[in-house]
Amino acid sequence: MIYLRGMNTIILVLIVSNVLVSYKGFQDILFFNRYKFQIGKILEGEKLRMITSGFLHGSWLHLGLNMYALYLFGSIVVNHFSTTNFLLIYFGSMLAGASYALYRNKNDHYYSAVGASGAVIGIVFSAIMLYPDMELILFPIPIPLPGYVFGIGYLLYSIYGMKEQLGNVGHSAHLGGAMGGYVLTIFLKPYVVNNNILMIIVMGAIIAGLLLFGDRLERGFK
């Protein structure tokens, strides 16, 4: 069982930053539009949006869910990494999520999104790789699942959700964030491969298949 011993300073800083920036966005639509993720603006050179959009949220519920997940899983991950490496996973996953969303939606210049989900999903996947047997719930299945089952299931669900455009959810950013968390955790802590080598192989195969054959799969879903 994993015990959480209070909130680490860097997690608190990230949560407060998200709350303050999101609140500003709730109150100021011009600020929100200036810094949200928008394909057309990014392709025109406004690359900073790939970071700033990760601190904006669409609602208090959206913000609350992301920050709660960051608190829970960040408290696990931060104990295994230096502050610098923890931030590398967080912002690396954020950029991976934004980059993959940009790639998947590059032809839709009006596509826009906000939220820390890419970064948070990267932290979630890092935690799963550290503790593959932790119990998690993959909605809408109300049954606790081992972390490795959750991780693999989440990847497959997100791929399907992206192809079918399920809900008002940035599935591509979630997938990119998961990829970032997966790659960076292995790079920084190679021993995690031994925690559950089958999980690492299956996740790696899914990610590689998505990167190599994603366009073909998309055509197959249409």
Q: 169-185 pLDDT, tens per residue?
A: 788 899 999 999 999 99
Q: Is residue 24 exposed (0-12), middle (13-18) or buried (19+ Cβ within 10 Å)?
A: middle
Kindly state the tokens that stand for 21: 């920036």
Residue 30 pLDDT grade (very low, low, confident, very high; cuts 50, 70, 90): very high
CB 76 within 8 A of CB 12: no
Q: Please tell me the pTM assigned to this model.
A: 0.90
Residues 37, 40: Cα–Cα separation, whole Å: 9
In this predicted structure, what is the pLDDT of residue 44?
Answer: 93
Q: Which residue has the tokens 């998309």?
A: 218
Most confident by average pLDDT, 137-146, 148-157, 186-195, 206-215 = 186-195
In this predicted structure, what is the pLDDT of residue 108?
Answer: 86
Higher pLDDT, 33 or 166: 33
Domain 9-221 listed as CATH 3.40.50.880: no
In this predicted structure, what is the pLDDT of residue 126?
Answer: 97
In this predicted structure, what is the pLDDT of residue 138?
Answer: 63
Length of the chain: 222
What is the average pLDDT value for the chain, to the nearest integer? 89
